[in-house]
Amino acid sequence: MGNELTLSLSTLLGFVLTLARIAGIFVFVPLPGMKDLMNPVRALLALGITIALFGQWPHPPANTSAGLFVLWLISEAGLGIGVGLSVAFATEAFSVGAQMMGLQAGYSFASTVDPQTQADSPVLVIFAQLAAGLLFFAMGLDAQVLRIFARSIEIQPPGTFALSRGAAEAVVASGSLMFSTGLRLALPVTAVMLMVDISLALLGRINAQLHLITIAFPVKMLVGLAILSWLVLVMPNLLRGTFAGTLGAAMTLSGR
């Protein structure tokens, strides 16, 4: 007589709660790849990690009411989404800064194909996204994210986390770092572009016969490119500092 695999209702409920938390995290955590491959990869990764954490699954009572289980499910999804958002804010800061720089340096007119959306996007934004994704994995930040939600399973087992005002404020505070970091990244380019505009305006005022409009655009692009080559050197430290701030919000959510 063959053996039969049976799963209790309590085990299935624990699996769903754990999957909701982990899937919420991987909705926003940056992963390399094309958009067409992104959703299956995220789903398989979340499912695989959930199965690997079988020993950490909670075992809620089988007679748990549907309303209470839905509340637990919303709380677990909220925890995962909050941690994922905190991580995404750190990498999206580069895109915010690139959007500001591209407008000032004249690169907003240059577009390329976004490998994730297959649509035309500003070239600096695409460069910033690829650089942030590369640095995210090269600096080992993905391992820190894995440690956070592995630790959260131990400290706050699925079904015990409750959404609170403090958790929401932590996520909002980490979102403010995205804009402040993007502004810090774009300020050098913006300041130099302002000085270039003032210099060209003074030259045009001194000699009205100079057709500076024809050379202003190339000059600003070359100067902006020179500053961007310098900013590449400080991007790792900038991402590390921003991630440290957003990591604090993720740790607050996970109970550490």
Looking at the predicted structure, is the pLDDT value of residue 32 above 60?
A: no
| Closest CA relative to residue 59, chosen from 102, 98, 9, 96 | 9
d(CA 189, CA 38): 33
Looking at the predicted structure, is the pLDDT value of residue 5 above 60?
A: no
Q: Are 115 and 125 in contact (CB under 8 A)?
A: no
Q: What region does 140 belong to: left with phi over 0, alpha with psi -120 to 50, or beta? A: left
Per-residue pLDDT tens over the stretch 129-167: 888 878 888 888 777 777 777 777 777 776 666 666 776
pLDDT at 49: 82
CA 76, 78, 82 angle in degrees (round to 5)? 120
Reported pTM: 0.70
Per-residue pLDDT tens over the stretch 66-114: 888 888 888 877 777 777 777 788 888 888 888 888 777 777 776 666 6
| Closest CA relative to residue 87, chosen from 21, 166, 178, 12 | 178
| Percent of all residues in the chain with a pLDDT value above 70, rounded to a whole number | 79
pLDDT at 147: 77
